[in-house]
Amino acid sequence: MSNASLPIVTRRQMLQRCGMGFGMIGLAGVLDDARLLGAPPPASNPLAPKLPHFAPKAKRVVHLFMNGGASHVDTFDPKPALDKYHGKPLSRTNLRTERKTAGALRSPFKFQRYGKSGIEVSELFAQTAAACVDDLCVIRSLHADVPNHEPSLWLMNCGDGRLPRPSFGSWATYGLGSENQNLPGFIVMCPGGYPITGTQNWRSAFLPGAYQGTYVNTQHTAVEQLIENIRNASMSSAEQRRQLDLVRQLNAAHLEQRDNDAPLESRVQSFELAFRMQSEAADAFDVSKEPLAVREKYGNGVHGRQLLITRRLLERGVRFIQVWSGAGQPWDNHDNIEKEHRRLAGEWDRPIAAFLQDLKQRGMLDSTLVQWCGEFGRTPVAELPGLSGRDHNHYGFSAWLAGGGVRGGMVYGATDEFGFQAVEDKVHVHDLHATMLHLLGFDHEKLTYRYAGRDFRFTDVHGQVVKELLA
């Protein structure tokens, strides 16, 4: 072929073609990172399923939140020394409490050993211990930062006690998405209203609004009350879909003019989720469809109903569920702790045992990480003037994990002989979070989100995976 027959390419055309080629190379990398090359979910759906950093042990999380601060020395951390020193001042301790306290206050509840593991548990959770103690990984050396409810709630839920940060459920759904696009990926159940600090406990903060927790008031029993406007009687589904498509187009134009404002983007996503929920949420929350024997096993109380709903939501692919004790601070018993703790634990014990057994029988416990704890524990000394309650204690308290790749039938760490503070194998809340993220398949240092010029993570600059807790 002669030079005269070759196509003439100008310098400008060459640069244009090269530039487009380099752009496609970059686009291929972006699509691969988003798992869109050969992957099913569309990029426009923030809750589309995603892969973690490595093979996970747990696929979903349930947090049983004992808000107000359950007493560890009355539940999962027996302290016989308190019987010996009951009523006497513990002057050789250096614990600083929020309020004036008196002498040691022995536990009014009996402890005994359960299961093959022989773990000691209070009579308050006798049914859970008798049925499931060998599945529990009891941490007796957890500690937080301050003895105040608000910052301790934020630390436990959001990884920071001062600044607005995304909650654990938001991070989990950001990293993993959801297995069911017709239900929220992160659901929060609390009977009777909001706990203290309200929606800040399940906020998405600077993460996209689609990852914020969806609140359900489980004090109600009828599905129409649990989820308002769950059914649309005024138009067909097809008509509503056409209406919503028009609203979405208008919102998209509005959003583009406002530099993709995060609250507005959250509103757009909420419209879509609300429409999709109409097809499945009513069925998921209707526990009357369960066999009578199953309902009787969970009991007739609000927490039994909450945990039965939780199991039904897990079966339908919800990623993260938080189940609260109730509005306010139910476990915050500064006085009359014997009566109040007995009442509260009585509402939880049977449902927890039924829930864990149910998950295990259905083959779901191994892939479901269950967490039990509050924001802190309580002091081993009595609080003045009542002498029948305990003050806040963040220096040492208990939690337990079950399923999802943890070692069952073990106790990790210890507080001192009185239960004042963690002294052996201490586990900070950041360490607990790092360990739970590891079980979900994430390196907690690499699960990040860029905001305001910085890569943020759930554990901030803290946290170590506690490998001894892993199965």
Residues 92 and 124 in one domain: yes
pLDDT recorded at residue 42: 37
* Domain enclosing residue 24, as ranges: 1-39
HSE-CB of 206 using CA atoms within 13 angstroms: 14
Q: What is the spatial distance between Cα 381 and Cα 274, in angstroms, rounded to a whole number?
A: 49
Q: What is the pLDDT of residues 333-360, one digit of tens each?
A: 999 999 999 999 999 999 999 999 999 9
Q: What is the spatial distance between Cα 48 and Cα 54, in angstroms, rounded to a whole number?
A: 18
* Residue that the structure tokens 């039904």 belong to: 312
Q: What is the pTM of this model?
A: 0.84
Q: Where is average pLDDT lowest: 178-182, 329-333, 402-406, 465-469?
A: 178-182
| 245, part of any domain | no
Written in H, E and C, the secondary structure of the chain is CCHHHCCCCCHHHHHHHHHHHHHHHHHHHHHHHCCCCCCCCCCCCCCCCCCCCCCCCCCEEEEEECCCCCCHHHCCCCCCHHHHCECCCCCCCCCCCCCCEEEECCCCCCEEEECCCCEEEEHHHHHHHHHHHHHEEEEEEEECCCCCHHHHHHHHHHCCCCCCCCCHHHHHHHHHCCCCCCCCCEEEECCCCCECCHHHHHCCCCCCHHHCCEEECCCCCCHHHHCCCCCCCCCCHHHHHHHHHHHHHHHHHHHHHCCCCHHHHHHHHHHHHHHHHCCCHHHHCCHHHCCHHHHHHHCCCHHHHHHHHHHHHHHCCCCEEEEECCCECCCCCCCCHHHHHHHHHHHHHHHHHHHHHHHHHCCCHHHEEEEEECCCEEEEEEECCCCCCEEEECCCEEEEEECCCECCCEEECEECCCCCCEEECCEEHHHHHHHHHHHCCCCCCCCEEEECCEEEECCCCCCCCCHHHEC
Residue 182 has pLDDT above 50, yes or no: yes
Residues 24 and 103 in one domain: no
Residues 158 and 301 in one domain: yes
Proportion of the chain above pLDDT 90, given as a percent: 71
Q: What is the pLDDT of residues 272-300, one digit of tens each?
A: 666 556 656 778 899 999 999 999 999 99
pLDDT recorded at residue 369: 98
Q: Which pLDDT band holds residue 24 (cuts at 50, 70, 90)?
A: very low
Q: What is the pLDDT of residues 376-423, one digit of tens each?
A: 999 999 999 989 999 999 999 999 999 999 999 999 999 999 999 999
| 14, part of any domain | yes
Residues 10 and 136 in one domain: no
Residues 102 and 163 in one domain: yes
| 339, part of any domain | yes
How high does pLDDT run on average in the chain?
A: 88
**Amino acid letter at 180?**
N
| 447, part of any domain | yes
| 160, part of any domain | yes
What is the CATH number for 120? 3.40.720
Of 229 and 84, which is predicted with more confidence? Answer: 84
| 268, part of any domain | no
| 76, part of any domain | yes
Residue 19 has pLDDT above 60, yes or no: no
Residues 217 and 161 in one domain: yes
Q: What is the pLDDT of residues 436-458, one digit of tens each?
A: 999 999 999 999 999 999 999 99
Residues 283 and 412 in one domain: yes
State mean pLDDT over 306-329: 97
Q: What is the pLDDT of residues 35-58, one digit of tens each?
A: 444 333 434 688 999 999 999 999
Q: Where is average pLDDT lowest: 120-124, 172-176, 235-239, 307-311?
A: 235-239
Q: What is the pLDDT of residues 120-137, one digit of tens each?
A: 999 999 999 999 999 999
**Domain total of the chain:** 2
